[in-house]
Structures are given as structure tokens and as C-alpha cells.
Structure 1
Amino acid sequence: MLQLSGAGKRFGQKLLFEDVNWLITPNERTGLVGGNGTGKSTLLKILSGMESLDYGQRTHVRGMTLGYLPQDGLALSGRSVFEECLSVFDELRDMEKESEALTHILSDADPKSREYAAAADRYSEIADHLHVHDIYTLDAQVGAVLGGLGFSKEDWQRRTEEFSGGWQMRIALAKLLLQKPSLLLLDEPTNHLDLESRNWLEDYLHNYENAFILISHDRYFLDVTVNKIVEVWNKRMHVYHGNYEKYLTLKEERRAQIMAAYKNQRDRIEALEAFINRFRAQATKAKQVQSRIKELEKIERIEVPEEEATIHFKFPQPPASGRTVIEVTNLTKHYGEKRVLDNVSFTIERGDRIALVGANGAGKSTMIRMLSGLEDPTSGTLKLGHNVLADYFAQDQYKVLDGNAEMLDDITGSNPRVDVVTLRSLLGCFMFTGDDVFKKLGVLSGGERNRYAMAKMLVSPANFLLLDEPTNHLDLRAKDVLLDAIREFSGTVIFVSHDRYFIDGLATRVFEVEDRRVHIYPGNYEDYLFRKGGGIPTNTAEAKAKLTTDTATNSHIDAATGMFKPVKQAGSAAIETSTSTHEIEGSLAPVTATPKTNVKRLNPIKLKQLEDRVAAIENELPDLEARILAAEQQQAAFTTAEAARAIATELDTLREQHAARTAEWEELAMQLEEQTTA
């Protein structure tokens, strides 16, 4: 569909990449990764045709269409949001008008005339085209995409220029998704999306009928959307088949193979050189020496890739606070007629790592500002515990920095006990390398200053951190540094983030802000979705389908616990053929009842074994449920990071066992029911 051959690109004197060969197929689902400055965005612009190559060539098949979404910088105006999105179908709507005009020609022209024949041919061609593109559902298509990207129906009629830059990028993304080009090129599409919109975009791309290539610093998003990773590294392009998690494994395996081959080659080279040096002066060995010299010259030397610096940073541990960090009682917040929070009460304890989640505009940032003391509630109280030192990181934290200060001097002053080497390594993690550390803060861009503000917070933290979108403007490496640092932090953290992987790896509790209330869930985001979905596992794409009550499976979901409960049917009505789906060890297995007419009678011994196994599972399920609830309660009371990880692992195992036992019980119960009704 599109191909790069021997492609190379320079940025001034810097070579970004060279000798890139890439054949993009119609089923391409690729994540483009690499460090900042390696040329990912430039490569995407080259694929889109916006930039040219310095070396090599770019070719594409005739008739293919391209859609490109930059990271930012798009501004739309002059129309409502709905009209702007509907404009992508202007060609179809013009064809619809032409079709209406052709109907008048056909009604007036002589059926035997050339004019009639030409109009009929064109009308047929247009009708087929409009049918293929489903002309009568255009409004519904626009509404579905706008709703998925977080636009309320009230927003649809607002002018596009009324929206901020982030929402403008959402409009641009909506237009691209509606166009459905042959190749979709997305540069950081999740930057301006909340969690709900990201989840919707994941599903959309999962079902997208054409090819797409995307750049993202959201690890979870890459894991669930792509099946190939292209890494730009060391001025070359490296291809790995699989999602991001698989890429990390394959990359480590590839490096191990290269190092093993390099060692073997070095051993051979050293042996050859030793032989040559030892017998070079002996005439009787001249032939063997020349043979080894030729072999040495023919060896194509293996280049060892440079070690990628791995930085591990630990917070300087803050003074301990009291057990209760903050107690919130009957908290209410109104902005005039707009009610944001009503009568909210909760307690945060030492060691909690709480993720605030909810739709855009639900009140997450308002909540975190009130907890930090920067905004007063309309009513209610917030009581800080003993020796609590709070520090707040805002989305626009860069605004409080001294623009005249030099970066390295400023961060050194934050904590003189941390040595300069460690500080420079930390700044390197946040993409400040070389002479960047001597720049004045005032010359940095907004994103750069936000990254610096986060690095500065890591150097001298308080014991209660309130972080509003701390992962904005961070690449995957910097996010990992931040995640590891907070995991080992002994204080308390409450944070807002739209990065699913970051939340899953950090949160011990989830506070959902919805309908002016705060709903509290123990565990990370995966556990939150599990409970919110009625106990339905969500760790695989297929498992996102909701399980419904089915009388043929003799089970239902307990509303209080979110657990599957076996239910014995009264009477002896015949079981109809049906299929239900249950998760067994991370995969979905269909369980199908057999029609009464095909039942094979079991002998009494087999029947007794079947009854005993059903009874054993019925006794085992309540015990598993009790252990799951106990583990969840343990998880809610954070002690150490190691203990939290152990409890999370045990909880996953127990849930898998419970799902497997439930599925087995349902299958055996159906067989037993069939035996009694046959």
C-alpha cells in the first residue's frame, strides 16, 4: 500500500535515521516507538507526504487515502462542532444532490435518448457509491464518534472556536475517524483524551477496517491496539511483531542474542589473531597464516548496540505523618447554579495511593485543589492529620516557576543533600540532557517546564502529594521513572491521571467522582472496572462483553458482592440449547447445553461422581468468595509496596479460580439436570 525504500532523514547536521525499508500493508496496526528526538514524528510526517526524504524514496498505490493527526497545533473555526464533522461527507452530500437532479432529468428525458442513457448510468453509479457509504446514517455516525470522544449533545451546536486546544484536537480526531482513510496516522492521539474517551478509542481502533500507525506514550493503549511495534533507535528501524509488552520481551531477547553472537565472534577473532601473531614469521606456517588472515578480513563485525541508560530514582523519604492524613466531612462545592460535589465524606490514611477518576468536568481537579487547600469548599470540613505536609502539582505547574532561574541551580536549591550527578541523571530521565540543564526556565516551552516541575517535586517531596495529571508531556521512560519512584515513596499520594498503565501500576484505591458523589473502590483501575462491571473480569478484550443472567446456565450475579452465584432451578423443565461465556484462566470458553434429544444416560457410578463434584464445588465457591473479600480488605489497608503486590497477585489467582470453578459448576449442573429430565 505504501513503501519506504532506503529512506533517510537529517535534521540540520543531525542524522535522524537512515536505510529505512518499510512496506505498509492494508492490515497494518503498528505502534511507532523510540526516545524523544529519534525522529518518530518526522517519520510519520514523511509517511503522510508532509515532509520529504533526504535519501531513498517513498511510493504508494494509486487511490489510497491518508489521514494524519499531529500532536497539536490545529485550530478550527467558522462552524458548529457537528457541522465541522459532517463536512467530511461534503463529497457524498454533493453526490446526493446530483442524484436528485438526475431524477428530474430521467423523468423528463426521452427514455430512448442518449441524454437519458447517460443520466441513468451516472445515477446508477452514484446510487451504488452512496449505498456503500451508508449515506442515510451520516448524522448517526457523527453523533456516535462525538459521543465517544466526550462531546455532550449540548456541545454539538457550539462553535468550534469556543473550544480549547485540547478539545480542538478531539474535533480533528473525530473528523479523521469519520473519513476512514486507507491509512490512519496518529501522533499521540490520547494526549487530550480522558479515560472514558481512551477506552472508546481503543474499541474503535480494535474494529477499524483499514490500516493505522500511531505514536503513543500510553503503554496500555499500545498493548490493546497494535500487533506490531516499529522502534526507531540508533538511527535504524527495528520491527517487532506483537504488542508493546511483547516488544519489550523480544527486544531483550534480541539483545541477548546479539551479545552472545558478539562474544562468540570476539573469541574467534582473538583466536585467529593469536595464531597469526604466533606463526607469522614461520615459513612452514605461511599458508595457514594467510588462510586465517583472509578469514579475518571476511568477518563482518557485529556492532554491539549502545547500552540504554537505566535510571532508578528514589524519593528522599519525608517525615512520617499521623495515621489519618486527611478527614473529609460533608464536603460540598457549588459554582453558582452549577453543583459539582454534594455532601461528600471520606478519610485518607497514611500510605494510601489514590487514583481520582471520572469523566471530564465531573470535578476531579476541583476535588484535588480543595484537598490541597488552594480552593475553599462551599460547605463541609477538611481536617489534616498530625504532621501532614502537603504538596500540590497542577496541570499548569510551570506557571509558578521562576523564569530567570537556571535549571540546574534551581533544582539543586530544592534539596542540597542530593548530589549533582544524581540530579543530572534525573533531569535526563525527563528529557533534559547536555547543556539543557543550564538553560533559563523562562525559555522552556510549557510542556518542558511542566516536565521540569515534576522532576523538581521528586527531589524534595512532602509526605502528602496531590498530583493533577503528572504524566502529561512525559515519554514512556520518564513515566516509568516516576511510577517506580512513587511506588517506593513512603508517604501518601492522591492523583489524577488518564494513563491506564500508570493507574494500574500505582493505585491502591480508586475514588470515582460521578454525579456529585465520590464512590470508593479498593484496588487499582482493573479492580475498579471489575467491581463496577458487576464482578466481570476486564483484563482481556473479549471479557469486556457483559455476562447476563441465563436460566440455562443456572447462575446469576449477586448485586451486593459482584460474584457469580449458582442457583438451582425448581421443577424439571427441559433445558433449551444455549451458550454462555465464562472466563477460565484468562481466556473465554463457551459452555453449551445439549438438547434433550441428544442426552446420553450415565451409569449410576458416573452419575454419583457427577453429583459429588457439583456438591464439592458448591461448598468450595463460598470459601473462595470469602477469601476474595478478605484479600480486597487487606488490599485497601496499605502497608508496604511489596505486600500490596503480593496481595494483588493472590487476588488475581483467587478470581481466576472462582471463575473457573463457576464455569465448571455450570457445565456439570446442566449435565446433571439433563440426566434428571431425560
Structure 2
Amino acid sequence: MLQLADAGKRFGPKLLFEHANWLITAGERTALVGANGTGKSTLLKTLAALDSLDYGNLQRTRGMSIGYLPQDGLSLSGRTVFDECLSVFDELRSIEQELETLAASLAELDPDSGAYGTAAERYSNLSARFHAHDGYALDAQVGAVLAGLGFSKEDWARRTEEFSGGWQMRIALSKLLLQKPNLLLLDEPTNHLDLETRNWLEEYLRGYPNGYILISHDRYFLDVTVNKIVEIWNKGLHFYSGNYEKYLQQKEERRTQLEAAYRNQREHIEHLEAFISRFRYQATKAKQVQSRIKELEKIERIEIPQEEQAIHFTFPQPPASGRTVVEVSNLSKSYGEKQVLRNVSFTIERGDRIALVGANGAGKSTLIRMLSALEGPTSGVLRLGHNVLPDYFAQDQYKVLDPGARMLEDIGRIAQRVPETDLRSLLGCFLFSGDDVFKPLGVLSGGERNRYALARILVSPANFLLLDEPTNHLDLRAKDVLLDAVNKFTGTVIFVSHDRYFIDRLATRVFEVEGGHVHVFPGNYEDYLWRKEGGAVTTTAAPAVAVVEETPAAVVIQTAEKEKVRRVNPIRLRQMQERLAFVEEEIPRVEASIVETEHSLGIFVSVEETERLSRLLESLREQHGLLTTDWEELMLQVEEQQVSS
């Protein structure tokens, strides 16, 4: 289909890659990875024929169609969303119109005439082509893709120019998916998608009939959509079979082998050099010395390119808060006649890692702003616990930064006890290196300033972090730094993120914001999906009560007849094992909390305190029952998988 032969590309004076050879086949399911600045996006543009090679050749099969989605920058106007997407089928719509014209002609022509035969043959050919491309379901195809990418039916009739940049990219992605080119080239397709639309895109790509190559900083997305990794490393292309997780394993194995070969070669070279040095001036050894000199000259030296240094940044740990961080009772929020939240109640405890999930516009950002005291509720009570110090990271956090402040000086004022070398390493993780750290913040783009604002929070955190989309604009390395730091953080975190891997590795509970209510699920996003898809039945308290801590009363349904064990994929099995380990650690913690709360109930302080402790005790018992059910179900599933494997 598409072939790179001895290809090379420069960006200014910098050589990105050389001697690159890559045969791209019809069933390609490939991720393009590499450190920042290695040329991933440039290579993708080159494959799309939007950029040229400096060396070598790019050959394409005649008639091959390629669809390319850049990271951003596309802008559409002049039509409604639906008509814009329907425009990809202009050729089929022309065929449909011609079929209608031919049908009318056939009704009028003499069946025995030559004109009738010609028209009938043309009609038959066009009809077969129209059917082959599912021409009678064009509207349904457009509707399915638009719905999958998060457009409501009301949006379909809106003009494309009414939508922001992120939604413009969704429209462009919709058109590409409807076109179904032979090869899709997608540069960060998940950048502007929420969790629900990412999940839909994952399923769509699994069933995509042609090939695709994509760049993404979403590790989970890569794990479930590709079966090959191409890495730009050391100015060359390196190929790995399997998904991103297998690539990491294979890369480590390759580096270990390379280091072993390097050591062996160095020992051999040192041995040759020692022999030459020792016997260089002895006539009786002249022939042997010359032989070893020639051997030494022929050796192709193994080089081990320097890897990006792994950065492990640890939060300066904050002062401890009280055990209860936030209590919310019958909270409601309205904007004019629009009610976003109603009668919401829940409790957040010290050490919780809570992921807020829900469709766009459901109220996630509204809730997190109220928890940070930037907005007040319309009604109800939101109470912070003892010594709780909140800090809020907004999607547009860059707006509160001083544009005249220089980056290194600004972060140094906040983190006076952190050495400058550590600060520069941290900034390097967030893609600020060299002279970038001396730039005034005002010259940075919005995305760059948001990245800096997140690094700024890391060096001086409060004990209650509220993070709204912290993973936006971060590459895989920066996400790993953030994830590692938050996992070691001793405070409490509530966050919104569209990165599945980030949520699964961090969340201990999931708060789903839907229909004005908040439903609480224990565990990470994988556990949340399992329950939503019928892994367990959840019952929700009536709106009048709305005690969300009581919401997830899970009941596992088992049939009398034992069903055949269903094999799960290795990723899901590993997640089940990790979840089991978490539950086994969490049950004793909850049991200890129950004992502590029962003891506190025995000491009368006030009626209000007794009522609060009673609600907390009931919630803890519900949580303990749910965790116990989880443990039993997970133990059974893991054991069945191990026995059947």
C-alpha cells in the first residue's frame, strides 16, 4: 500500500530520522511513538503527502486513499454539522440522483428500444455500486458517527462555525470516519474527546475495515486499538509487535540485550587493544599485531543512545486534615431555570482519590468549582472538615498567572526549599527545557501556561487537591510524573480526567454526575464500567433522600446453572488482580473506621454530631458490604481464569 524506502527527514539543522524503511500494509493497526521532538507528527504529515522527504522515497499504491487528522487548527463553516458530514458522500448522492433520473426514463422508454437497454445497464451498474456502499443508509451512518462523537440531535442542525476548536476537530474526525479511507492517519485524535466518546472511538477503530496509524498520549487507548508500535528512536524507526504495554516490555528487553552486547564488545575491544599495545614493537608478533589492528578497524561499534532520564517528583507533603474532608447534604445548583445538580449528598474522607465522570455538560466542573469554594450552592450545605486546605486547578488555570513573571523565578518563589536543579528537572518533564525556563509566562500559549500551572501546583500542594482536566496538554512522560506524584501524595484528591489509564491507576472511587444526581461507585473506572455494564446491580436511593454514599448497594446475580468460564483479555485480568489487591487492603481500613466511629458514637457531644456519626457509620457499613461482595466476586473470577489458563 505505502512504502518508505531509505527515507530521511530534517527539521532545520536537526536530523529527525534517516535510513527509514517501512512497508505499511492494508491491515495496519499501528501507533507511532517517540520522545517529544523526534518527528512523529512530521512523519505522519509526510505519509499524508503534506510534507516531503529530504532523502529516500515514498511510494503509494495507485488509487489508494489517505485521510489525515492534525492535532488542531481545522475550521469548518458554511453548512450545518449534518450537511458537512453528509458532504463526504457527494459522489454517492450524485449516483442516487442519477438513479432517480434513470428510473423515470425507464418508465417512459420502449422496453424493446436500444435506449432502454443502455439505460437499464447503466441503472444496474449504478445500483450495484450504490448498494455496495450502503447508499440507502447515508443519513443513518452520519447520525451514528455524530452521536458516537458526542453531538446531540439538536447539534446536527447547528452551523459548524458555531462550534469551538475542539468540537470543530470532532466534526473533522466524523468526516474521516465516514469516508473510510484505505489508511487513516490520526494525530492525537483523543485530545478533544471525553471518556464516553473515547470509548466509542475505541470500539469504532476495532471494527474499522481498513488500516490506521495514530499518535496518542493516552496509554489505555493505545493498548486497546493497536497491534504494532513504530518508535522513532536514535534517528531511526524501530518496530515492535503488540500493544503499548508489550512495547514497553520488549523495549526494556532490547535495551538489556544491547547493553550486554555493548559490554561484550567493549571487553573484546579492550582485549585487542591490550594485545596490540603489548606486542606492537616485537618483530616476532608483527603479523599477529597487524591482524588484530585490521580486526579492530572492521568492528562496527555499538552505541547506546542516552535515554530520557526518568523523573520521580514527590510532592512536599501537606499538613494532615481531619478524617472527614467534605460533607455535602442536599446540595442543589441552578443557573437561572437550568438545574445542574439537585439534592446531592456525599462524604469525602482523607486519602480519597475520587474521579468525577459524566457526559459533557453534566455538571462535573460545576461540582468541582463548588468544592473549591469558587461557586456557592443554590441550596443545601457544603462543609469542609477540620484543617482542610483546598487548591484548585482549572481547565483555564493559565488565566490567573502573572504574565510578566519569568517561569523559573515564579516557581522558585513558591518552592523555596526545592533545589533549582529539581525544579528544572520538573519543568523539563512538562516540556520546558533550556532557555524556556527563563521566558515570561505571558509569551507562552494557553496550553503551555496550563502545563506550567500544573507543575506549579506540584511544588506546593494543599491537602485537598481539586484537579479539572490536569492531563490535558501532557505527553506520556509528564502524565507518568503527575501520576507518580499524586499516588505518593498523602492528602485527598478529586479530579476530572478523560485519560482511562490515569483514572484506573489513581481512582479509589468514581463519582458519576448524571441527570442532576451524583452516583458513587467504589474502585477505578474499570470497576465503574463493570457495574454499569451489568457486572453488578446498583440501586439508587430515592431523590428525596439522595444520600449518595448509600447509592452503590451492589448485588451479584448468579444463575443456578454454572456458566462456562468466559476468558478475559490479559489487560482486564491484570486490572482484576490489582483491584483485588486494593480491596484486600481497603476492607481492614474500612473495618477500622467502623470501630472508630462506633467508639465516637458512645461519647455524646451534640445531637448534630450524633446524627453525622450515625450517617457516617451507615455509609461505612454499606461500603464494607460492597467491598466484601467485590472481594468474593473478584476472587471467584480470578481463580476461574487461572484454572482455565
Hey, what's the Cα distance between the residues in 2 that align with 1:629 and 1:188? 35
Match for residue 450 of structure 1?
450
Q: Which piece of structure 1 moves more, 288-297 or 433-442?
A: 288-297
Hey, what's the Cα distance between the residues in 2 that align with 1:651 and 1:102? 66
- How far off its partner does 1:320 sit? 1.0
- How far off its partner does 1:294 sit? 1.5
- Whether contact under 8 Å (2:554, 2:629) holds in the other structure is no
Match for residue 404 of structure 2?
404
Match for residue 560 of structure 2?
567
Closer, same or farther in 2 for the Cα pair 1:319/1:16, shift >3 Å? same
Match for residue 254 of structure 2?
254
Structure 1, residues 411-447: CA drift from partner, whole Å, max 9, x if none? 1011111110000000000000111101111111111
Percent of residue pairs identical: 70
Structure 1, residues 652-675: CA drift from partner, whole Å, max 9, x if none? 98545413778999x9xxxxxxxx
Match for residue 155 of structure 1?
155
Closer, same or farther in 2 for the Cα pair 1:653/1:280, shift >3 Å? farther
Structure 2 portions without partners, runs of 5+ = 538-551, 572-579, 594-625
For residue 315 of structure 1, what is the amino acid of its counterpart? F
Residue 242 in structure 1 maps to residue 242 in structure 2: yes
Hey, what's the Cα distance between the residues in 1 that align with 2:298 and 2:265? 12
Closer, same or farther in 2 for the Cα pair 1:204/1:278, shift >3 Å? same
Match for residue 573 of structure 1?
none
Closer, same or farther in 2 for the Cα pair 1:586/1:26, shift >3 Å? closer
Q: TM-score, structure 1 length as denominator?
A: 0.83
Closer, same or farther in 2 for the Cα pair 1:158/1:53, shift >3 Å? same
Closer, same or farther in 2 for the Cα pair 1:502/1:660, shift >3 Å? closer
Hey, what's the Cα distance between the residues in 1 that align with 2:338 and 2:199? 28
SS at 2:262 equivalent? helix
Structure 1 portions without partners, runs of 5+ = 538-558, 569-578, 589-625, 640-647, 668-678
Q: How does 1:551-566 map to 2 (within 5 A)?
A: 561-566=554-559
Q: How does 1:243-392 map to 2 (within 5 A)?
A: 243-392=243-392
Hey, what's the Cα distance between the residues in 2 that align with 1:148 and 1:100? 32
Match for residue 87 of structure 2?
87
Q: How does 1:607-618 map to 2 (within 5 A)?
A: none
- Whether contact under 8 Å (1:508, 1:636) holds in the other structure is no
- Whether contact under 8 Å (1:327, 1:347) holds in the other structure is yes
Hey, what's the Cα distance between the residues in 2 that align with 1:662 and 1:307? 41
Structure 1, residues 145-200: CA drift from partner, whole Å, max 9, x if none? 11111111111111111111111111111111011000001111111111111001
SS at 1:343 equivalent? strand
Hey, what's the Cα distance between the residues in 2 that align with 1:664 and 1:251? 27
Hey, what's the Cα distance between the residues in 2 that align with 1:330 and 1:25? 58
For residue 442 of structure 2, what is the amino acid of its counterpart? G
Q: Which piece of structure 1 moves more, 431-440 or 291-300?
A: 291-300
Hey, what's the Cα distance between the residues in 1 that align with 2:24 and 2:581? 50
For residue 434 of structure 2, what is the amino acid of its counterpart? G
Residue 473 in structure 1 maps to residue 473 in structure 2: yes
SS at 1:410 equivalent? helix
Structure 1, residues 567-620: CA drift from partner, whole Å, max 9, x if none? 37xxxxxxxxxx9654357579xxxxxxxxxxxxxxxxxxxxxxxxxxxxxxxx
For residue 483 of structure 2, what is the amino acid of its counterpart? L
Q: Give the number of aligned pairs.
A: 590
- Whether contact under 8 Å (1:632, 1:651) holds in the other structure is no
Match for residue 594 of structure 1?
none
Structure 1, residues 485-514: CA drift from partner, whole Å, max 9, x if none? 000001111000000000001011111101
For residue 7 of structure 1, what is the amino acid of its counterpart? A
- How far off its partner does 1:636 sit? 6.8
- Whether contact under 8 Å (1:628, 1:654) holds in the other structure is no
- How far off its partner does 1:232 sit? 1.2
Hey, what's the Cα distance between the residues in 1 that align with 2:10 and 2:630? 49
Q: TM-score, structure 2 length as denominator?
A: 0.87
Hey, what's the Cα distance between the residues in 2 that align with 1:78 and 1:393? 37
Match for residue 605 of structure 1?
none
SS at 1:311 equivalent? coil
Match for residue 670 of structure 1?
none
For residue 99 of structure 1, what is the amino acid of its counterpart? L
- Whether contact under 8 Å (1:407, 1:439) holds in the other structure is yes
Match for residue 575 of structure 1?
none
Hey, what's the Cα distance between the residues in 1 that align with 2:627 and 2:380? 38
Match for residue 598 of structure 1?
none
SS at 1:94 equivalent? helix
SS at 1:102 equivalent? helix
- How far off its partner does 1:79 sit? 1.3
- How far off its partner does 1:631 sit? 6.6
Q: How does 1:527-542 map to 2 (within 5 A)?
A: 527-535=527-535
Hey, what's the Cα distance between the residues in 2 that align with 1:326 and 1:661? 38
Hey, what's the Cα distance between the residues in 1 that align with 2:179 and 2:53? 27
Match for residue 659 of structure 1?
637
SS at 2:566 equivalent? strand
- Whether contact under 8 Å (1:403, 1:442) holds in the other structure is yes
Structure 1, residues 102-142: CA drift from partner, whole Å, max 9, x if none? 23444445556654444333322211110110111111111
Match for residue 512 of structure 2?
512
